[in-house]
Structure 1
């Protein structure tokens, strides 16, 4: 039976799951903010202990490849690549937006004909988003969008669209269409990768472990601490 280690660190939530033959056999999640660097190694060690104690064989490592937090993606992908090299198994990378969409497919609040729009918070009124149908076929590609009252208006005239994710929360007061539905509390989780990572394993949809890089979507923008700016000004 296929055994996959799934790693999700693209947002503030850090999670690791071991999936075996269509079931989540092991799961760890932390919701209390971005502590990926300190938590992920421990979760992976627990996962490996579980795999060894149950005499399982790792078939692949799957990771959320973005978009999302620059630091979170870098930490997760680095760990995944290290495991792949260490156990000589293939690397699977999944879109964060597709993982989020997979997690809401069976939500009873969602109409069968509704489209799915996962949103990841970026800056101010910007989000990383895509639109999928219920078969997870991509209707609109993953993009960085600045949200205003006209966002997705063409689609909302014709179809119901379900918005979810930490980026959707700030858009609720802006997107006013009657066809706009907002779900709360949806975050990308490792256990939600199950169907997607097993499908990738069956299809041998693997990445080049040595050269794979996360899908950051936008370049990392470093900020200068306020006190450093003030010091620089005072020295001029």
Structure 2
């Protein structure tokens, strides 16, 4: 066996999953704002008990590294680092938006995938992938406008996935746009984690920090220079 425990805490959805070589064995989640510190240990134990697995059987722990909620990412990362250190196992960090895109690809094959998480007002964190899962635009923040993502919508069908679809659908009206409402979850993180594990994309336990996007440039509105 090659058991990997995955944690997803980037949004209000606190999620845990256990995979064996990329195959889901058990999962659990709890949707509540501000409950991660209380619920994450309970969900981890629930998943391990559901699978009948021992913590000492784990080969690695994977965590969603952001972007997302500052508090949620901090809790998830510190928990994953603590498990990796105490159990002497590998630590994996998975891009939260890549996890969302991976989920969307299974439901909308052939679509360009734009994974988005809600930021403030009309701002989102976004990352763009082609239909094969290859990144074509890196993680950044963007203010949604009527002409947002036109370069992709003109070329074909685009699936927008994440928790920013309510405001995205207010300004994006292309017939090529499909809005898939889904929160990040540990099941998709765990599938990607197996690929990372096989490729030995391990993280340093002391030095791993979440991607809060603090260093990323905000794309200003092209129509309103004061936005």
TM-score (norm 1): 0.85
Tell me how many residue pairs correspond in the alignment: 214
Q: 1:200 maps to what in 2?
A: 196
Indicate the SS of the match to 2:57.
Answer: coil
| 1:134 Cα offset (Å) | 2.2
CA contact (8 A) 1:13 1:34 kept: no
TM-score (norm 2): 0.89
Q: 1:45 maps to what in 2?
A: 45
| 1:30 Cα offset (Å) | 0.6
CA contact (8 A) 2:112 2:152 kept: no
Deviations 1:111-163 (A, max 9, x none): 52x20011100000000011111221001111111111111112222222111
CA contact (8 A) 1:149 1:175 kept: yes
| 1:45 Cα offset (Å) | 2.9
Does residue 19 of structure 1 match 2:19?
A: yes
Q: 1:70 maps to what in 2?
A: 70
Q: 1:127 maps to what in 2?
A: 124
Change (3 A) 1:161 1:215: same
Does residue 30 of structure 1 match 2:35?
A: no
Where in structure 2 are the equivalents of 1:1-236 lying within 5 Å?
1-49=1-49, 53-54=52-53, 57-107=57-107, 110=108, 112=110, 114-184=111-181, 186-218=182-214
CA contact (8 A) 1:14 1:34 kept: no
Indicate the SS of the match to 1:170.
Answer: helix
For the aligned residue pairs, the C-alpha RMSD in angstroms reads 1.6
| 1:191 Cα offset (Å) | 1.1
Q: 1:231 maps to what in 2?
A: none
Q: Unpaired runs of 5+ in structure 1?
A: 220-236
